[in-house]
Chains A and B, each alone.
Chain A
Amino acid sequence: GAGVSQSPSNKVTEKGKDVELRCDPISGHTALYWYRQSLGQGLEFLIYFQGNSAPDKSGLPSDRFSAERTGGSVSTLTIQRTQQEDSAVYLCASSSGGLSPLHFGNGTRLTVT
């Protein structure tokens, strides 16, 4: 079946602009995660959605970052007033919930110039 789909694959933006990154999880998966990975670094947790519960936003690095998940499916990660340090690969993953393994999308490579 279809895996996790992310768009765009690549995004180049100017410092100070807002960007929106989209994630379409595996059908039926109730949990959705956003991570980011800077070059040569590990995965950094950003935000977690589980069903209709309030999201766990504990990993968001600043108030410029926000995310929503509409209808328990598609999620959008928004970064306002982008900074150069926001340049990274943003990875979305979904799972069937609980302690189940995550399945990742191909990621969005964000470059802030």
Chain B
Amino acid sequence: RKEVEQDPGPFNVPEGATVAFNCTYSNSASQSFFWYRQDCRKEPKLLMSVYSSGNEDGRFTAQLNRASQYISLLIRDSKLSDSATYLCVVNTDRGSYIPTFGRGTSLIVHP
């Protein structure tokens, strides 16, 4: 089983829609979680950290479910500019801190 798994998509949604992505992780000892956004031929950029209590940043809401070992990202009122690949990232203290990146979920928002 891969350490971090995501549905590659693409998720094809109209402007204004609400869309949600999930990401599962295999290591129950994982300690920190993030969502990154990557545009085509660009570097990944931090979108938000994910906390156990859940957190929101504008139209974006992230949730962590430790019992089921998944994190989620909800995007409300999708914009054309939200079109990108969303990467799930998990980090664990294994003596060294090396984040593991999921393969990403592709989102396409159309007019």
Contacts and interface: CB of A to CB of B under 8 A. Distances in A.
B46 A45 contact: no
B102 A42 contact: yes
Interface residues of A, number: 24
B98 A42 contact: no
A25 interface: no
B11 to A, nearest CB: 17
B93 interface: yes
A70 B10 CA distance: 42
Main secondary structure of the interface of B (DSSP, over half): strand
A56 B102 contact: no
Interface stretch (A14-22, A79-87, A98-106): A98-106
Nearest to B100: A45
B97 A50 contact: yes
Nearest to B96: A56
Interface residues of B, number: 22
Contacts of A42: 87, 101-104
Contacts of A58: 98
Main secondary structure of the interface of A (DSSP, over half): loop
Contacts, number: 51
Interface in B82-105: 87, 89, 91, 93, 96-104
Contacts of B45: 104
A58 to B, nearest CB: 8
17 contacts: A33-B98, A41-B103, A42-B87, A43-B87, A43-B101, A45-B100, A50-B97, A56-B96, A58-B98, A97-B97, A99-B31, A100-B32, A101-B32, A103-B46, A104-B43, A105-B43, A106-B42
List the 7 closest A-B pairs by CB distance, nearest first: A99-B32, A104-B43, A42-B103, A43-B101, A56-B96, A101-B46, A99-B91
Interface of A: 31, 33, 35, 41-43, 45, 48, 50, 56, 58-59, 91, 97-107
